[in-house]
Structure 1
């Protein structure tokens, strides 16, 4: 099973993104990180989605560095170790289940 999946959706409308995630059964919220934010390697107990609405974030997982831009959707399976950093700042929708 693929533990990390990145899809470039092109969709950045916050209401539509949240609606879609809710329809998929995710609990959702919107989060912002200013430039220079860093989260060291960690995991989540449930499946996680990060959908970039504005800005950029770099996420490291499964030996890869992924640069997410507006419209990009990243899915992480439960327990997948990952880290994140922002250079320019980012606003994204988060989904968990």
Structure 2
């Protein structure tokens, strides 16, 4: 999967993990951000949508889109950025 993301132009690719109950307050990035769920569950809210992510799900958050995240159960995911 990491090689596929690199081929699509993503950089700064890493695997991250969060514990149940982790919360990321509303924020935005100056670059596209992709998240590929490996295990666990989380909710990512944008101003217009809610995404319930589980293992195997992929979400691309476009540059400048304000979002927040709630971790529902311990999770691990791949993150990457496209500048």
Would the TM-score normalized by the shorter structure come out above 0.5?
Answer: yes
Unpaired segments of 5 or more residues in structure 2?
none
CA RMSD of aligned residues (A): 0.9
Q: How many residues align?
A: 81
How far 1:89 moved relative to its partner? Answer: 1.6
Unpaired segments of 5 or more residues in structure 1?
1-16
Match 2:7 to one of 23, 28, 32: 23
Tell me which residue corresponds to 2:52: 67
Distance 1:90 1:59 in 2: 13
- CA deviations 1:6-37 (Å, max 9, x no partner) are xxxxxxxxxxx211111111111110001100
Q: Is the strand fraction higher in 1 or 2?
A: 2
Tell me which residue corresponds to 1:77: 62
Q: TM-score, normalised by structure 2?
A: 0.92
Q: Which runs of 4+ in 1 moved over 4 A?
A: none
